[in-house]
Amino acid sequence: MVGGKEQQVKIAVVGTGYVGLVVGTCLAETGHDVICVDSDKAKIDLLKRGKTPIYEPGLEELVRRNAQEERLAFTTNLKEAVEKSLVIFIAVGTPPDDTDAADLCNVFEVARDIGRAMNGYKIVVNKSTVPVGTADKVGETIAAETREEFDVVSNPEFLKEGAAIEDFMKPDRIIIGTSDVRVAEIMKELYAPFVRTGHPIIVMDIRSAELTKYACNAMLATRISFINEIANLCERVGADVDKIRQGMGSDARIGPAFLFPGVGYGGSCFPKDVRAVVRSAAEAGYEFRILRATDEVNEQQKSLLIGKVMRHFRGDLRGKVLALWGLSFKPRTDDMREAPSLTIVRGVLERGASVRAYDPVAAKVASAIFGGDVVLVKRNYDALEGADGLIIATEWNEFRYPDFKRMASLMKERVIFDGRNIYSPKTMQEHGFTYYSIGRP
C-alpha cells in the first residue's frame, strides 16, 4: 500500500535473474501486484510453469505461491508491463565489457523500451549495479522517447545469493538515491514491510547511492584479499591464519565477517564490481590502487591450489585423477560466474590431470561450461573413486563431516587440497591424510 492511499502499486521488474526474480517475488509476497519481464523466453516459460531457472533456497516455493495467488506474473512483453505499472525496476545484468567497465547495453536498451512504452507518470528504479552517472543517462534515454513525466531512482541491491530471500526480506539497510521528496516517500512505503525491525532506509543523492553499492562490494572483496595475503604470509613464517582471523575478528573495530582465507572470491559481483570501480575511477582521473591490488591478489589466489597440487605431485599431473568437491562460487547457489573452481579445474586439466567433480546443485551449469572435459558425478563419494587426490573448492556444509574412512578406502592416494580450510589439520592427520590448506601449518 503506497502513497498513503491504501492503494496497491503495480510494479514491473525487468530482468528475472538472481536479483530481479527475488525482488519481484518478495514484493509480491507483501501483497503488491508484480509483473516480471525478461527477454529470455525460455526463462519466462519455465517461470510460468512454476519452475525457477536458477537455484536459490526457498525461491521456487515463493514464486509458485505468489503466482497462484495471482500477485506475480511473468511476461516477455515489456510494453504491456510498463503500461500497467507505476514503479518499474531495472534488474538486468551489467557484466564486464572488454575494458572491464560495466556493460550497460542491457540497461539502456530497457530504458529506451520503457520510454517508448510510457503511458503516464512512472518511477524507474535502477536496481542493477551501475557506475556513477548511469541514472542520469537512463533519464536521458527515456526522455528521448517520451513526453510523459517520470523520475529515475537509484536503489542498489545488497542481497547475497544463497540467502537472497532472507537478505531482501530483512535487509541491513535500504539505499534510495533520489532528490525528490515525493518519490522518496513512495519508495519508503514500498520498502516499509521489510524494515519493521528498525533497519534504516537511507535516502541520499543518486550519485552517492550508485557509488555506495560499489564501495560495499569493493570493501568486502578487499577484506578477502587482505586475509588471503595474511594467509600467504603465514605459510612463509609458520603462523596460523585461523588463530589470526579469530584474534582480528574479535576486535570490535574489525569484526569477524569476510575474513576467511581461501582460493579467492568469485561470483557475478565482486570481481566485476572491483574492476569496474578501478575502471571508472581511471576515467575520472583517479588511480584506485587498493582495488587494483585486491583484484591482482585474488587472481593469484585462485591459482594457489594448483601450485600446491603441482608441488605435491612433483610437477607432473599427467595421468592423475583429481576429485573436486564444490563448483559453485560459494555454497547454496548454482552460480559459477568467475568461480575459483573454473581456474582450478582448467589449470589441472591443462597440466594433464583428469577431473571427477561433484557439486550439490551446480552440475547442470558446470556441464554447459566443461562439456565432456570433466566427469560430473551425482554423489560426493563417487568423485573419489580411484582419485589421486581431492580438491575442495567450495565449502558446502555437507562436506564438513564426511566419512573419512570411506573416503580413504575409495581414494588411490590419501591427499586433500582444501581451498576453504574446512577440516582441522589434526583430524586429517589422525585419519592418515596428507592435508594441504590455506595459511595453516
- Active site amino acids: 269
Report the candidate in 333, 301, 327 with the shortest Cα–Cα distance to residue 224: 301
Q: Mark the segment that binds ligand NAD (CB under 6 A) among 56-64, 105-113, 241-249, 304-312.
A: 105-113
Contact 21, 63 (CB under 8 A): yes
Residue 429: burial class (beta carbons within 10 Å; 0-12, 13-18, 19+): exposed
- Judge whether 29 and 18 are in contact, CB under 8 Å: no
Other Cβ atoms closer than 10 A to 48 = 12
Distance of CA 26 to the CA centre of its chain: 18
Q: Taking the complex as a whole, how short is the minimal distance between the CB of residue 253 and ligand NAD, in angstroms?
A: 26
C-alpha distances (whole Å) from 312 to each of 112, 202, 308 are 56, 52, 6
Q: Does 39 bind ligand NAD (CB under 6 A)?
A: yes
**CB nearer ligand NAD, residue 110 or residue 241:** 110
For residue 157, state whether it binds ligand NAD (rule: CB under 6 A): yes
Contact 345, 324 (CB under 8 A): yes
Question: Which span sits near ligand NAD by CB under 6 A: 89-97, 137-145, 302-310, 426-434?
Answer: 89-97
Q: Within a 10 A sphere around the Cβ of 139, how many other Cβ atoms?
A: 17
19 makes contact with ligand NAD (CB under 6 A): yes
Give the one residue of 9, 11, 12, 18 binding ligand NAD; rule: CB under 6 A: 18
Sole binder of ligand NAD in the list 52, 75, 128, 437 (CB under 6 A): 128
Judged by CB under 6 A, which stretch of 134-142, 157-165, 402-410, 416-424 contacts ligand NAD? 157-165
Smallest distance from the beta carbon of 191 to ligand NAD, in angstroms?
Answer: 16
Rounded least distance, CB 15 to ligand NAD, Å: 3
Does residue 12 bind ligand NAD (CB under 6 A)?
Answer: no
Task: Give the N- to C-terminal CA distance of the chain in Å, as an integer.
Answer: 57
Q: CA dist 107 to 90, 91, 127, 148, 175, Å?
A: 7, 8, 10, 20, 19
Chain residue at closest Cβ approach to ligand NAD = 17
State yes or no: residue 67 binds ligand NAD (CB under 6 A).
Answer: no
Binding segment toward ligand NAD, per CB under 6 A, in 8-16, 171-179, 278-286, 344-352: 8-16
Contact between 27 and ligand NAD by CB under 6 A: the answer reads: no
Cell of 196: 519493521
The C-alpha atoms of residue 426 and residue 176 are separated, in whole angstroms, by: 49
Closer by beta carbon to ligand NAD, 37 or else 353: 37
Least distance between ligand NAD and beta carbon 154 (Å): 12
Among 27, 73, 86, 110, interactor with ligand NAD by CB under 6 A? 110
Nearer to ligand NAD, 23 or 374 (CB): 23
Going by C-alpha positions, the residue among 305, 286, 284, 288 that lies closest to residue 296 is 288
Sole binder of ligand NAD in the list 83, 97, 109, 240 (CB under 6 A) = 109
Q: Which stretch binds ligand NAD (CB under 6 A): 79-87, 102-110, 183-191, 222-230?
A: 102-110
Q: Which is nearer to ligand NAD, 265 or 433 (CB)?
A: 265
Binding-site member from 2, 9, 13, 15 for ligand NAD (CB under 6 A): 15
Tell me how far, at minimum, the Cβ of 333 lies from ligand NAD, in Å: 8
Q: Which helix (H) or strand (E) holds 345?
A: helix 340-350
Interatomic CA distance for residues 138 and 326, integer angstroms = 39
What is the H or E stretch that residue 209 is in?
Answer: helix 206-237
CA-nearest of 275, 309, 305 to 394 is 305
H helices of 124-203, in order, are 134-143, 164-169, 181-191
| Residues in 232-271 at the binding interface with ligand NAD, rule: CB under 6 A | 268-269
Does the protein bind ligand NAD through residue 52 (CB under 6 A)? no
17 counts as binding ligand NAD under rule CB under 6 A: yes
Question: Residues interacting with ligand NAD, by CB under 6 A?
Answer: 14-20, 37-40, 43, 91-94, 106, 109-110, 128-129, 157, 159, 161, 268-269
